[in-house]
């Protein structure tokens, strides 16, 4: 089910590095070779001829930048806005309301799987993600011959008063703060459950006649989120501000939490690596006590981070 990681692609050779001074020097060298008697004049910055060359160099720089932009516009990793919309049209995909470039790029990357008549995992993923931008991740597998299981990690808007603290923490870790998190009746994101309308909506989309292969049963459900609480003590030498070290470590753990994905185990080694940083000599990880394995349809979620500090001399 893996697809190419666009961030690992090398910069395209067609996109050149722009250097105004190098272009100007090249123009001066070219002119001096054609008219050697002008060489002394070209060394004087105040000469009108030099000013003309500077204008020409700048216009050439602008032209080269325009060529760079045109090259990027037809390459998926770098296309944005309307250029990306036109790339998506190759696969009969349209930008969903409110969909940002990064999410549309992910759909375009697996877009050719929509042409599959055999129902590849990527094809199911694409169809599901094309229903709503509230669907953040999709896991697909076959639990038995003839049946496809589709698990959705989707967000649902809810009143903060109607959800449990753990549900609110889980939604915040996976989807960030709701735009209306403040105010008299704050809202939040929570992880969609199997009974939510968005799961039913995806199920209807995947059961359409032009999507589901004949004789294939499709079962759409919600992701099973595995809440994880992190508790640790940072050991540092006397001198550094322990509160600052704890704040920095918390930010690193939260970034790790944002990278969570289906079927990717959360290991103690990952958490320890996130907690370690400049000024930290050692980390005592109290929780989780063991690795958090993630199977089909499961996704670990760090919902709580508690960090203490201890100054200790060698």
Phi, psi of 54 (to 5 degrees): -65, -40
User: What pLDDT is attached to residue 22?
Assistant: 95
User: What pLDDT is attached to residue 296?
Assistant: 96
User: What pLDDT is attached to residue 153?
Assistant: 97
> In sequence order, what are the residues at sequence separation of 6 or more whose Cβ sits closer than 8 angstroms to the Cβ of residue 68?
15, 16, 18
Separation of CA 29 from chain center: 46
Write the pLDDT tens digit of every residue in 256-280. Answer: 998 899 999 999 999 999 999 999 9
Give residue for tokens 């006649």.
Answer: 209
Write the pLDDT tens digit of every residue in 65-80. Answer: 999 999 999 999 999 9
Bond preceding residue 39 cis, omega within 30 of 0: no
Dihedral (CA of 163, 168, 169, 174) sign: positive
User: What pLDDT is attached to residue 1?
Assistant: 46
User: What pLDDT is attached to residue 183?
Assistant: 77
Q: Percent of the chain having pLDDT more than 70?
A: 97
Interior/surface letters 265-284, b for 16+ CB within 10 angstroms, e for the rest: ebeeebbeebbeeebbeebe
Distance of alpha carbon 247 from alpha carbon 102, whole angstroms: 29
Tally DSSP H helices, then E strands, for the chain: 10, 7
Write the pLDDT tens digit of every residue in 3-57. Answer: 778 888 888 999 999 999 999 999 999 888 888 888 888 888 888 899 999 999 9
Write the pLDDT tens digit of every residue in 179-226. Answer: 998 878 899 999 999 999 999 999 999 998 888 888 889 999 999 999
- 244: pLDDT strictly greater than 90: yes
Query: Which two tokens mark 175?
Result: 């989807």
27: enclosing H helix or E strand: helix 20-34
Across residues 91-120, what is the average pLDDT?
85
Distance of alpha carbon 97 from alpha carbon 152, whole angstroms: 19
Domain positions in the chain: 6-73, 79-109, 114-222, 225-311
Q: Percent of the chain having pLDDT more than 90?
A: 74
């Amino acid at each position: 089910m893996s697809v190419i990681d666009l961030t690992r692609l090398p910069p395209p050779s067609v996109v050149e590095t722009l250097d105004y001074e190098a272009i100007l020097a090249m123009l001066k060298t070219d002119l001096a070779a054609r008219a050697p008697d002008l060489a002394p004049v070209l060394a004087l910055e105040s000469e009108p001829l030099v000013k003309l060359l500077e204008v020409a160099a700048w216009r050439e720089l602008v032209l080269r930048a325009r060529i760079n932009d045109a090259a990027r516009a037809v390459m998926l990793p770098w296309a944005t806005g309307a250029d990306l919309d036109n790339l998506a049209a190759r696969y009969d995909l349209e930008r969903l309301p409110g969909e940002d470039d990064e999410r549309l790029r992910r759909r375009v990357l697996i877009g050719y799987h929509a042409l599959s008549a055999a129902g590849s995992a990527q094809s199911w993923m694409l169809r599901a993600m094309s229903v709503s931008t509230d669907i953040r991740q999709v896991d697909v597998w076959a639990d038995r011959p003839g049946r496809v299981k589709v698990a959705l990690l989707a967000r649902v808007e809810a009143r903060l008063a109607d959800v449990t603290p753990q549900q609110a923490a889980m939604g915040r870790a996976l989807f960030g703060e709701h735009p209306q998190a403040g105010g008299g009746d704050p809202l939040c994101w929570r992880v969609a459950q199997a009974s939510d309308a968005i799961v039913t909506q995806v199920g209807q989309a995947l059961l359409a006649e032009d999507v589901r292969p004949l004789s294939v049963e499709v079962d759409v459900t919600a992701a099973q989120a595995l809440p994880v609480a992190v508790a640790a003590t940072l050991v540092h030498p006397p001198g550094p501000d322990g509160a600052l070290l704890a704040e920095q470590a918390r930010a690193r753990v939260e970034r790790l939490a944002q990278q969570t994905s289906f079927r990717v185990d959360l290991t103690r080694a990952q958490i320890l690596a996130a907690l370690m940083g400049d000024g930290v000599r050692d980390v005592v990880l109290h929780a989780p006590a063991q690795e958090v394995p993630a199977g089909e349809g499961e996704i670990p979620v760090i919902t709580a981070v508690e960090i203490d500090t201890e100054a200790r001399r060698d």
